[in-house]
Structure 1
């Protein structure tokens, strides 16, 4: 399952609890350009990707972003995908309550 680049950028930003303005300021990518990546589906170039992953805060998502791979033992993870919900695994819902 490959996710569009625009959605990946948004997931990284939201997982870090940042708004577009904060993400743009931290990475040095102009706000309007970032908005174009996320909302209009424009593909970021090498320089933009380099700006993002030169930030230590985002390096943990690099393998997931580039290759759709994670390696937790190496510190490479995927952002929280909670807003995608659970996939259908064919099992009936649990009657267990959480929280």
Structure 2
């Protein structure tokens, strides 16, 4: 998946239109359209701009490496609205009796 496809995946996972994603990210709507249509490839500056938004910082690791770290709050769009409630607590969180 290239960066343009990843940006689209993030936008879709958050349920935003291109216009709303543009408003939140500060990237022009026309530029977003160009990315999503494959006419233009976003650069690192765009990735930085997006991940500096509090709403999108959870995707920083995935955007850069294709990896996730849910325990650190770093997820992929497919996990965006699943949350961490479905994860099992690790041994250190279990109470002993």
- TM class by shorter-chain length? 0.7 to 0.9
- Distance in 1 between residues matched to 2:51 and 2:34, nearest whole Å: 19
Structure 1 residues 1-99: aligned runs within 5 Å: 3-80=1-78
The 10-residue stretch of structure 1 (20-29 or 36-45) with the greater mean CA deviation from structure 2: 36-45
| Aligned mates of 2:45, 2:52 — CA distance in 1 | 10
Aligned length: 79
Q: Is the 8 A contact 1:64 1:76 kept in 2?
A: yes
What's the Cα RMSD here?
A: 1.4
TM-superposed deviation, 1:41: 4.8
Per the normalisation by structure 1, the TM-score is 0.73
How many Å separate the matches in 2 of 1:33 and 1:16?
A: 19
Structure 2 regions of 5+ residues with no counterpart? 80-97
